């Protein structure tokens, strides 16, 4: 254990949370409500973290809201479901720890801060229809519309998202036909909410937790760049922060919680801790691996699971708050009718409407040729898709910005302009068209998951929401970029069931906790089920806050014994 005590401390609390997303705020609120003082330190100028950028979904099996709807579910069923998805890359106790505690954390925050969540109706698990432990609806929750004016001085200092329509709930978007039918959305309602700063999705969820901390008088400091943990030879006792006014030392009497998300904005770590090259992103610049820089020097162990790689597009002229290029995910758009994705050989290589399967194919390495045969890749679509569907942030019927898309009157001309083989592209489209007319995809099974119809389909398109031929000229091609999973990392710090950071000998590091995307994804292993990331943040923060306050949960031990784990 390090010994680097400062000459003086500038601030002090029992629990110091580094990061102001769901995990950091949740830890601070929990510790405060259990008799311990807390401070939240945020490197950026706004609170809310990556939580505020997200769709705000929380995946919580056996939650009370689905029970009230008469949906039969349980944390144990959720455990079996995640274990199947994990493909052995998980640790069973970590998976069980999440599923048994997520419901309890939600119950607690509902009572403690008045958190108001609702079931996202008709939104299935990824594998509904493919495993008995998936549910058709009930596990995925979102926050009710939140009045951000209630944040007072924090209203303007709490993040909103530049990439999701945070003025709408999931039902607001999905009932008129989802993102495939944006023209049918109630934009008057959206405008009214935005005018009155009523926030939904991740922006609303983050705001609810900011209010929970503000209502309790928990100090929340922005512009505090945590750069070094402080130890006293026996435990972690604080943190050194860099600020515009110099170093600030913050003492933690009971624990430091590192909840700073991941490393998506750090190209070197993307390449070496993941296997993601030239990664596009929609997250802000502070998501750059601070969890490793803080916990590494005190011996924290890291672990890796398979990457979450999405596909996106860089829209010319769109920039992030720091001036870097903004990338937008198109995973919900490449599964729409009249659209396919082809690789450098002009062939389809997976089920475009089910990103759980598709992203595994994108980064495939051909050892014989030492290439990524499926990357680079292109979205190919016709004028039917252009007339009906948004792509990136470009509305239907609108011209693409210069340099974003290739447009041609024939597939052969499109292939020539993109460097693809014309005969192969024509054959690929012809085969897809022939089967799409019959609402089938024998090559890759596109549209066989109910999730695909919900998230990547057009419910108004017949006979199938995900399948429609490419027939109408002109045709379009857009080269796609790799996208991170909204700061969902493949590598993180290993934690125990109380969210204490573990060392390389398998022992907890005294006084050090990790939460949210700072933690290795040993609950989920090979893949993320939508909504798990926010559920992890909420649950980890709650568990870390409880333990630091001397009120650790004992639920895992009894459940593990009951299940024989």
* Residue 13 reports pLDDT greater than 80: yes
User: Rounded distance, CA 499 to CA 495, Å?
Assistant: 5
CB atoms within 10 A of CB 461: 20
Query: Are the C-beta atoms of residues 520 and 303 closer than 8 Å to each other?
Result: yes
What is the signed CA dihedral for 398, 402, 404, 409, rounded to 10 degrees? 70
Residues in the chain, total: 565
Residue 448: partners with Cβ closer than 8 Å, 6 or more residues away: 351, 441
Query: Are the C-beta atoms of residues 405 and 393 closer than 8 Å to each other?
Result: no
Query: b/e per residue, 281-292, with b = 16+ CB within 10 A?
Result: bbbbebbbbbbb
Report angle CA 334, 339, 342 to the nearest 5 degrees: 80
Please give the radius of gyration of the chain, using alpha carbons only, rounded to the nearest integer.
24
Q: List pLDDT tens digits, range 69-128.
A: 999 999 999 999 999 999 999 999 999 999 999 999 999 999 999 999 999 999 999 999
Task: Look up residue 480 and give its two tokens.
Answer: 């796609």
* Residue 319 reports pLDDT greater than 90: no
Strands 481-483 and 140-143: unpaired
* Residue 486 reports pLDDT greater than 80: no
The per-residue DSSP string of 280-332 comes to B--S-TT-SSHHHHHHGGGTB-EEE-----EEEEEEEEEE-TTSPEEEEE-TT
Nearest C-alpha neighbor of 456 from the set 298, 274, 289, 330: 330
Nearest C-alpha neighbor of 433 from the set 358, 331, 337, 330: 337
The predicted structure's pLDDT at residue 324: 79
Strands 481-483 and 310-319: antiparallel
Q: List pLDDT tens digits, range 364-387.
A: 899 999 999 999 999 999 999 999
For residues 319 and 61, which has the higher predicted lDDT (pLDDT)? Answer: 61
Distances (CA, A) of 421 to 56, 66, 202, 229, 413: 42, 51, 42, 55, 10
Q: List pLDDT tens digits, range 416-469.
A: 999 999 999 999 999 999 999 999 999 999 999 999 999 999 999 999 999 999
pTM: 0.95
The predicted structure's pLDDT at residue 315: 83
DSSP state of 118: E
Q: Which residues pair with 251 in a beta bridge?
A: 12, 238
Confidence of residue 230 (pLDDT cuts 50, 70, 90): very high
Report angle CA 328, 355, 85 to the nearest 5 degrees: 130
Confidence of residue 345 (pLDDT cuts 50, 70, 90): very high
User: Rounded distance, CA 486 to CA 328, Å?
Assistant: 10
Mean pLDDT of 483-493: 87
Q: List pLDDT tens digits, range 277-294.
A: 888 888 889 999 999 999
183-188: long-range contacts at Cβ-Cβ below 8 A with a sequence spacing of 24 or more? 183/396
Arithmetic mean of pLDDT over the chain: 95
User: Rounded distance, CA 342 to CA 414, Å?
Assistant: 13
Query: Are the C-beta atoms of residues 283 and 543 closer than 8 Å to each other?
Result: no
Distances (CA, A) of 427 to 196, 342, 348, 410, 424: 52, 12, 11, 13, 5
């Amino acid at each position: 254990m390090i010994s680097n005590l400062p000459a003086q401390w500038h601030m002090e609390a029992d629990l110091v949370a580094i990061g102001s997303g769901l995990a950091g705020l949740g830890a601070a609120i929990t510790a405060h409500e259990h008799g311990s003082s807390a401070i939240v330190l945020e490197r950026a100028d706004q609170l809310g973290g990556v939580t505020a950028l997200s769709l705000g979904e929380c995946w919580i099996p056996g939650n009370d809201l689905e029970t009230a709807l008469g949906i039969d579910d349980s944390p144990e069923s959720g455990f079996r479901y995640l274990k199947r998805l994990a493909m052995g890359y998980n640790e069973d106790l970590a998976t069980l720890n999440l599923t048994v505690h997520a419901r309890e954390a939600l119950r607690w925050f509902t009572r403690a801060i008045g958190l108001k969540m609702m079931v996202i109706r008709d939104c299935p698990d990824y594998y509904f229809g493919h495993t008995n432990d998936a549910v058709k609806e009930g596990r995925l929750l979102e926050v009710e519309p939140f009045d951000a004016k209630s944040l007072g001085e924090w209203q303007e200092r709490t993040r909103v998202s530049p990439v999701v329509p945070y003025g709408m709930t999931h039902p607001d978007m999905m009932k008129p036909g989802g993102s495939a039918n944006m023209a049918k959305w109630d934009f008057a309602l959206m405008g009214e909410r935005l005018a009155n700063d009523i926030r939904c999705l991740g922006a609303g969820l983050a705001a609810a937790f900011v209010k929970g901390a503000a209502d309790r008088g928990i100090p929340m400091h922005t512009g505090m760049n945590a750069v070094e943990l402080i130890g006293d030879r026996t435990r972690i006792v604080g943190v050194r922060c860099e600020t515009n006014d110099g170093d600030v030392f913050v003492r933690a009497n009971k624990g430091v919680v590192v909840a700073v998300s991941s490393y998506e904005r750090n190209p070197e770590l993307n390449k070496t801790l993941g296997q993601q090259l030239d990664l596009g992103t929609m997250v802000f610049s502070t998501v750059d691996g601070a969890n490793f820089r803080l916990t590494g020097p005190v011996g924290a162990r890291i672990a890796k699971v398979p990457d979450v790689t999405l596909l996106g597009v860089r829209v010319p002229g769109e920039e992030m708050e720091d001036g870097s290029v903004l990338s937008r995910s198109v995973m919900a758009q490449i599964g729409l009718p009249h659209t396919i994705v082809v690789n450098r050989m002009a062939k389809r290589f997976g089920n475009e409407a089910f990103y759980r399967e598709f992203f595994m194919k994108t980064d495939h390495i051909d050892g014989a040729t030492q290439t990524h045969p499926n990357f680079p890749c292109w979205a190919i679509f016709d004028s039917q898709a252009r007339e009906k569907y948004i792509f990136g942030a470009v509305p239907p019927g609108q011209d693409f910005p210069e340099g974003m898309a290739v447009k041609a009157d024939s597939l052969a001309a499109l292939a020539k302009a993109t460097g693809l083989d014309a005969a192969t592209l024509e054959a690929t489209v012809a085969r897809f068209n022939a089967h799409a007319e019959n609402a089938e995809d024998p090559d890759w099974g596109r549209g066989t998951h109910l999730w695909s119809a919900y998230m990547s389909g057009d419910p108004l398109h017949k006979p199938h929401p995900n399948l429609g031929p490419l027939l109408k000229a002109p045709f379009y091609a857009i080269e796609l970029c790799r996208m991170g999973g909204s700061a969902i990392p493949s590598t993180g710090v290993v934690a125990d069931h109380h969210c204490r950071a573990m060392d390389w000998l398998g022992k907890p590091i005294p006084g050090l906790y990790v939460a949210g995307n700072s933690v290795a994804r040993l609950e989920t292993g090979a893949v993320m089920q939508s909504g798990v990331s926010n559920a992890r943040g909420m649950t980890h923060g709650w568990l870390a806050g409880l333990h630091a306050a001397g009120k650790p949960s004992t639920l895992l031990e009894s459940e593990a014994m009951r299940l024989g784990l």
